[in-house]
Amino acid sequence: MQRVDLKNLIQLIRENKDFEANLILDEGCIFETEDPKPLIKVLNYLINYLKDLSDRPLEISLDLRPQDYLLSLLAYTDKTDLPAVSDQIEGALKQYKASLENIHNKGQNFQFKVAFSR
């Protein structure tokens, strides 16, 4: 089993992808998994999706909550028609006991919320 620290993982992805983002990341969002690679691919996919919607910095937050870890990724965009999100994402997140919610405030922003059960 490998320990995944979501805060460190997000910071590492940001450094490697070299994109602008405002980060508010809680400490202590850690879990164990057999293979973190699919999670890294999912996070990269979500970030790439949002980066294509806007030229402004992304807003990324990670909240340590009693029942879960909530990762929120938001892009400000005035677009109203968005490409479909891959249907493989939710399946990939299940192995991490995580769920995905998409929120589109048309003409304002698009947000992914990923909740990791504790």
| Residue 89, domain CATH | 3.30.565.10
Domain containing residue 88: 2-117
Which ranges of the chain have pLDDT less than 70?
none
pLDDT at residue 35, as a whole number: 95
pLDDT at residue 53, as a whole number: 96
Domains held by the chain: number: 1
pLDDT at residue 85, as a whole number: 95
**Between the CA of residue 84 and those of 17, 28, 88, 89, 100, what are the distances in Å?**
23, 32, 11, 11, 14
